Amino acid sequence: MLKMFDIELFLTTIVFILLVTKTKLHKESSMSYQETMPYREKIAWLSMLAMLFTFGPYFTLVASGYFPAKPMPDLHQLAGYAITATLQVTLLLVGHMVLRRRNPQDAKLPADERDIAIKQRSVTAAYYVLITGMILVGVVMPFTSSGWEIVNSALFMIVFAELVQFSMVVVGYRRQAG
Amino acid sequence: MKGSLSNNIRLLRFLQSEMTQAELGQRVGVTRQTIAAIEAGKYSPSLEVAFRIAGEFKLPLEQVFQWQAE
């Protein structure tokens, strides 16, 4: 019985290998990575790029001294931050809408065990970055700095932690790409 | 103990009237990309998903997944 099964399996394997190049399975495996990219990886890319395109220029301006030090509340600086945040939210909204329209089926699917595992790993890594940043900003910086310097440092650490999280999600999916 | 998990999912899908990764994923409750990652041996599924996959092919677990110790 077992031998019969083995011969059967052997023959079917050969047929399978011969036919696989012409089957739908081959088409599936030859799809480009972009076509098969998980929806959640696309969302991670979108979030990462939206953050880089908005907070990248903002922190470049802050570092270059574009906002001169003024007593709190510095409305000029506050406006700079508000514009950046609004731009980021707009980019995210438009990006989510485009992705949902392009992948309506994938967008509806709930997270599976692999999605959850990747998310957990990325959140854990980002947590360590965030907690280190918050200790530096909230405990160390008040002795040496004040006002917007502390606010911007805290914002930077939050943005950095988020970037770590999104990067970890992308790396997680890329490593396990089929 | 080091080793690797291999599987016959691709062959079994072929035998099941060319079942697609998306169809199998839908039946066991994971995404098409997760099935692709399992097939490629890049992701080891949980026991529950492994049993569900084997159940879809009406085979015992060891005929779908094999553990090879180094």
Q: Where are the domains of chain B?
A: 3-69
Contacts of A47 (CB under 8 A, 6+ apart): A92, A162, A166
Q: What does the pLDDT average to over A117-135? A: 96
Rounded Cα distance, B45 and B5, in Å: 10
For A24, the closest chain B residue by CA position comes to B18
| Structure confidence at residue A158 (pLDDT) | 96
> What pLDDT band is residue B38 in, cutting at 50, 70 and 90?
very high
| Total domains in the fold of chain A | 2
pLDDT above 70 coverage of chain A, percent: 80
- B3 - beta bridge partners? B69
Specify burial of residue A10 (Cβ count, 10 A radius: 0-12, 13-18, 19+): exposed
CA nearest to B9 within chain A: A25
Residue B56, pLDDT > 90, answer yes
User: Which of A16, A37, A39 is the closest to B14 by Cβ?
Assistant: A16
Residue B14: which of A23, A36, A176 has the nearest Cβ? A23
Spell out a b/e string for A145-171, using b for 16 or more CB atoms within 10 Å of the CB, else e.
eeebeebbbbbbbbbbbbbbbbbbbbb
Q: Are residues A160 and A95 in the same domain?
A: yes
Q: Does the distance separating the beta carbons of A38 and B15 come in below 8 Å?
A: no
What is the extent of the structural domain holding A16? Answer: 1-30
Note whether A60 and A25 are same-domain residues.
Answer: no
The reply to whether residue B30 touches residue A113, judged by beta carbons under 8 angstroms, is yes
Same domain, A3 and A49: no
Terminal C-alpha separation, chain A: 35
Based on the fold, state whether residues A87 and A151 are members of the same structural domain. Answer: yes
Please tell me which of the candidates B14, B37, B39 has its beta carbon nearest to residue A114.
B37
CATH 1.10.260.40 holds for B3-69: yes
- Looking at chain B, the whole-number percentage of residues with pLDDT higher than 70 is 100
Q: How far is B37 from chain A (nearest CA, A)?
A: 4
Residue B68, phi then psi, degrees to nearest 5: -115, 110
Mean pLDDT, all residues of chain B = 92
User: Worst-scoring range by mean pLDDT, A100-109, A123-132, B42-51?
Assistant: A100-109
Question: Between A30 and A81, where is the model more confident?
Answer: A81
Within this chain, do residues A51 and A14 fall inside the same structural domain, yes or no? no
Which DSSP state fits A109?
S
> Distance between the two ends of chain B, CA-based, in angstroms?
8
Statement: the pTM of the whole predicted model exceeds 0.90: no
pLDDT of residue A71: 74
pLDDT of residue A173: 92
Are A46 and A128 contained in the same domain?
yes
Q: Span B10-28, mean pLDDT?
A: 92
Same domain, A95 and A116: yes
Are residues A53 and A141 located together in one domain of the fold? yes
Is the pLDDT at B47 greater than 60? The verdict is yes
Asked if residue A157 and residue A98 are part of one domain, the reply reads yes
Q: CB B33 to CB A13 under 8 A?
A: no
For residues B11-20, give the mean pLDDT.
Answer: 90
